[in-house]
Amino acid sequence: MPEGGDRELTFAQAIREALAEEMRRDPTVCIMGEDVAEAGTPFKVLSGLLEEFGKDRVLDTPISEAGFTGLAVGAAMTGMRPVVDIMFGDFITLTMDQMVNQAAKVHYMSGGKWRVPMVMRTTLGATRRSAAQHSQSLHAWFCHVPGLKVVLPSTPYDAKGLLKAAIRDENPVVFFEDKMMYKLKGAVPAEDYTVPLGVADVKRVGEDITLVATSSMVQVALGAAAMLEEVGISAEVVDPRTMWPLDEKTLIESAKKTSRAIVLDEGYERYGVTAELASVIATGAFYDLDAPVKRMGAMHVPIPFSPPLEDVTVPTEQTVFDAARTLCGR
Amino acid sequence: MTTATEPREASEKVDLWLRMYRQMVAIRQFEMQVNELYMRALMPGLAHLYIGEEAIAVGVCEALERTDYITSTHRGHGHCLAKGASPDRMFAELLGKKAGYCKGKGGSMHIADPATGNLGANAIVCGSAGIATGAAFSARCLGNNRVSVCFFGEGALGQGVLYEEMNLAQLFKLPVIYVCENNLYTEYTHYSETTAGDILTRATAFGLEAARVDGQDVRAVYAIAQRLVDRARNGGGPAFLLCNTYRYHGHHVGDINREYYRSKQEEQTWKTERDPITNFGKWLIEQKLANAAALDRVQVELEAEMKKAVEFAVAAPYPAVEEVDEDVYA
């Protein structure tokens, strides 16, 4: 667990601080997206950046996700380090050619000559009563593409350190922020630090079962772990933090130690991130497992608007608690 | 241009005209060798020949500095050569050899070369509109006075992202020129069946400077490209250049039987009446800037040079299998 000192920031403040520090450090870092300047995004994550860095570095764009993402790819190839803001993760669908066929492949197709050091920041997460086109967690789509890196922070500390590492990375990085987490508070040191991409973090140490959880599901896993403790089950919570590069070793070692694992992710369970992570554990910890690896993700439905319907589409502390008890046989 | 000033202007530019003639012949001879490689089954996959369109690449690239940027298309050999690529390494790339511009990983449709400002050919129709616009964005941000040219065929007029990029380019006043090569056929369909309304007004609607030129007349292409490039370099903003041209061969080298979409008579008319090399050669002779023997010699020299380049590529080794997963990430 990282040392955070005594300063607390919200997740949104941590993101903003990471961007501001990198923009001060490197004049080629710029931000572009819809309503990123005066508005500071609908989530107010970027408030204040326009005032400090001006409109040449904090650029409001038209509602043209493909257009400004494509522009960022070319800018990244030619000396800039753009950070594009895709307001809702659902809108990444509009950027797919730019990210999948262009950004991800430029380095390889050019025999390693051109580089695309850009970051796409976007959101994920349901239960905000925003219905089917503003609630999806589509990060698995990018995980499937060689050439991209995919980051899913779950705490203010990780958000700041990972975003700074992403901006300094020489590759296109997609950075998913859980929009329900923007107000979450946590310790964040004032001094400069980065969290390297590809290193998992054990968020809670336990003995009986491993809960591998990403992004929004880390808080759910920690809540479930507290409930499990009350019934005598000690749960370890492991956050991979980045989907690619993936710290397979930490996941496997935890599962070997506890002999049971549940993988939690807010993306669709079918063909999703949980399938990949479960496979890594099932293969790597096979001889030490006492039960099949359990996967928990979003139901295979478009996210509904009606609150009682929406709430059952994603894992909750209660459903994780129930699943863990079943897996442990008590 | 008046007839009174033409001879004087012509003689002053004799070196330029002869260089442009030579470059057009080089492209044609290169492409004839590509076709030969295909016919002899020496080339993996396919290629899309630029024969008939040489005046556009040469006229536009002659107006650029070496440090200026271009993006190219699936029919991109002409653009790459005109921007300064060397034939031997291009042939090597076409054959998938390690000595190729992209170490054999890109092939015919992805030749890229930072040394000549070539951001890469692109196999997604309109796939590089964002990249070219982004390079112009970098030029503006970094103040390096570079200009970016986006080559594309008229088929790209059907892609929405083109209009997103033109909108962004005009909003940000970027030094980018969109060069549309209308060779009449989007693969196997006449463009009139796929293109509603007027092409130029699509650009003027966004406030771009727009011009139309005979793409078979290299002097006309050069003159207008020079004007638009200077304008962009001096802060005048983006432009759109529509070049009317014709693709002598099929959509790709294997597209042999074309009568179902265009007549042999039509092909013959373009080849005999509107050939950019023949007509430019006639003009050079009329202006007494060259004689027929000298122009013939250019043909012979370049044919020999291209054959030598092919020999280099055929003899060059393939990449080692171990290189397959290199260059995925920078």
How confident is the model over B32-47, as pLDDT tens digits?
Answer: 999 999 999 999 999 9
Q: How many CB atoms are closer than 10 A to CB A279?
A: 13
Residue of chain B with shortest Cα separation from A77: B135
Q: Please give the average per-residue pLDDT across A271-288, as a whole number.
A: 98
- The mean pLDDT of A272-286, rounded to a whole number, is 98
Cβ–Cβ under 8 Å, residues A172 and A148: yes
Confidence (pLDDT) at A308 = 96
Of chain A, the end-to-end C-alpha distance in Å amounts to 29
**B208-220 per-position pLDDT tens digit:** 999 999 999 999 9
Minimum distance, in Å, between the CA of residue A229 and any CA atom of chain B: 42
**Residue B2 in this model has a pLDDT that exceeds 50:** no
Q: Region B254-280: what's the mean pLDDT?
A: 96
Mean pLDDT across chain B, nearest whole number? Answer: 96
Question: Length of chain A in residues, anyone?
Answer: 330
Residue A108: which of B93, B261, B329 has the closest Cα? B329
Nearest neighbour of B131 by CB, restricted to A73, A108, A149: A73
Q: What is the pLDDT of residues B96-112, one digit of tens each?
A: 999 999 999 999 999 99
Contacts of B221 (CB under 8 A, 6+ apart): B55, B56, B58, B59, B60, B213, B214, B215, B243
B12 confidence band (pLDDT: 50, 70, 90): confident
Q: Between chains, do B134 and A75 touch, taking CB under 8 Å as contact?
A: yes
Is the separation of the CB atoms in B20 and B222 below 8 Å?
Answer: yes
Residue A78 to residue B122, Cβ atoms within 8 A: no
Range of the domain at B121: 6-316
Are residues B138 and A78, on separate chains, in Cβ contact within 8 Å? yes
Confidence of residue B329 (pLDDT cuts 50, 70, 90): very high
Amino acid B11: pLDDT: 73
Interface test with B, best of A69, A96, A108 (most B CBs within 10 A): A108
Residue B124 with chain A: CB contacts under 8 Å: 97, 101-102
Q: Answer yes or no: are the C-beta atoms of A225 and A237 closer than 8 Å.
A: yes
| B1 pLDDT more than 80 | no
pLDDT of A3? 53
Per-residue pLDDT averaged across A270-284, rounded? 97
Give Cα A84 to chain centroid, integer Å. 15
Q: Are A127 and B309 in contact (CB under 8 A)?
A: no
Is residue B323 situated within a structural domain?
no
Asked if the structure places residue B326 within a domain, the reply is: no
Region B16-23: what's the mean pLDDT?
97
SS (H, E, C) A177-215: EEHHHCCCEEECCCCCCCCCCCCCEEEECCCCEEEEECC
Q: Specify whether the CB–CB gap between B102 and B110 falls below 8 A.
A: yes
Smallest CA-to-CA distance from B208 within B164, B178, B243 is with B178
Contacting residues of A for B326, CB less than 8 Å apart: 112
Calculate mean pLDDT across residues A263-288: 98
Per the prediction, chain A carries an average pLDDT of 96
What is the Cβ-side half-sphere exposure of residue B24, based on CA atoms within 13 angstroms?
30
Domains of chain A: 8-187 (3.40.50.970), 201-328 (3.40.50.920)
- Answer yes or no: is B39 within a domain: yes
- Tell me if residue B13 falls in helix, strand or coil: coil
Pairwise CA distance, residues B46 & B236, whole Å: 40
Report in angstroms the alpha-carbon separations of A28 from A79, A118, B67: 7, 11, 19
Report the gap between the CA of B125 and the closest CA in chain A (Å).
Answer: 11
Inside any domain, residue B330: no
Collapsing DSSP to helix, strand or coil, A35 comes out as: coil
Contact A114 B119 (CB under 8 A): yes
CA dist A17 and A9 (Å) reads 9
Cα distances (angstroms) measured from residue A5 to each of A10, A157, A181, A194, A195: 14, 11, 21, 15, 16
> Tokens 């007029």 correspond to what residue?
B157
Give residues with Cβ within 8 angstroms of A185, minimum separation 6: A8, A9, A10, A11, A156
Render pLDDT for B156-185 as a digit per residue (tens, 0 to 9): 999 999 999 999 999 999 999 999 999 999
Query: Quick check: B69 and B131 in contact, CB under 8 A?
Result: no
Cβ-defined contact of A101 to B127 (cutoff 8 Å) = yes
**Please, which pLDDT band fits residue A252 given cuts at 50, 70 and 90?**
very high
Closest Cα of chain A to B10: distance in Å? 37
CATH for B169: 3.40.50.970
Cβ pair A77, B118 in contact under 8 A: no
Domain count, chain B: 1
